[in-house]
Structure 1
């Protein structure tokens, strides 16, 4: 029996495929969810969504900075995405972002995807700390990161504008030692 570092009990992290365009276009229909992850943009055409998905599927692979689809283990259906960014190899830190489509909330997909991603970054790529920025109005993500053992390290006041208001951003961090104590 073979095992994959990218597969958990409920989800698998996989590369984006051209046919994933439809799921992500549907997720973008929920404006509140889109704002919680980054920023609201004008609607995308089907042609542009297909082209972007195809281009993403053909991007050169980077071992440290990448974006993956969060898919259900049962049927490989896309339920969200997770990415790494702000890679700092000198200090061994990185940040990540995660988004799960509204129909798939509260099913444990996000927490499992985060555990899988951090395991790779900590134990395969030798990073020592993960960071996540969460907007003050994203109660679900704030609760998720606290529940997972992330430490609240800072707050940037009024640094994000969405839906006609300024909002704070919280910085959360988790070290490899904290991860190992909880998940390894």
Structure 2
């Protein structure tokens, strides 16, 4: 039996202190950072080392894991995925995934999302996943539609970056929808 954290091309794993350089490099890619949030002031290499060491030294929160998306063949970091806003009462959670730009459009992100959702639905008993995607992030919009998420709403002009306002699109998927589409 294979690990529940492994797919065909990626595996989700805890951060290691040595991941700092790759993750720091991804944080310098403006298009990657803008797709998920906003541009922040530069972080020093030393601060990036400390951040990775701190992340590696913490036990993962089972309801809000923060994991490295790594290549299955060589364990190289491709990006990060996390669950957040876990609401045990209502059984919902949100998540985010971000990969370095050279790893885009190769199936890594979709595989990582399916692995995380399988864990959250089958092991943590959540009933619905949500993802907020910037309306200008066409690749992420396409990914969520391809994975079978339903577009549930839109917050207009709720994100500012790169000198312009952007809408956020809410996608959702229930545990039943996931089971039907992804087994």
Superposition TM-score, scaled by structure 1 size: 0.98
Q: Distance in 2 between matches of 1:106 and 1:159?
A: 26
Aligned to 2:166: 167
Q: Distance in 1 between matches of 2:59 and 2:77?
A: 21
**2:156–2:166 Cα contact (<8 Å) kept:** yes
Query: Offset of 1:32 from its aligned partner?
Result: 1.5
Aligned to 1:126: 125
RMSD between superposed Cα atoms in Å: 0.7
**2:12–2:112 Cα contact (<8 Å) kept:** yes
Range with greater deviation from structure 2 (112-121 or 24-33): 24-33
Q: Distance in 1 between matches of 2:120 and 2:73?
A: 25
Aligned to 1:147: 146
Aligned to 2:82: 83
SS where residue 95 of structure 1 aligns?
strand
Superposition TM-score, scaled by structure 2 size: 0.98
Query: Offset of 1:72 from its aligned partner?
Result: 0.4
Where structure 2 has 5 or more consecutive residues not aligned to the other structure, the ranges are none
* Runs of 4+ in structure 1 over 6 Å off: none
Q: Distance in 2 between matches of 1:42 and 1:78?
A: 23
User: Quick check: 1:23 aligned with 2:36?
Assistant: no
Query: Offset of 1:60 from its aligned partner?
Result: 2.9
Where structure 1 has 5 or more consecutive residues not aligned to the other structure, the ranges are none
- Describe the superposition over 1:42-73 as per-residue Cα deviations: whole angstroms up to 9, x where unpaired: 11111100001000111232110120000000
How many residues are aligned here?
A: 183
Range with greater deviation from structure 2 (150-159 or 51-60): 51-60
Query: Offset of 1:151 from its aligned partner?
Result: 0.2
Q: Distance in 2 between matches of 1:32 and 1:106?
A: 14
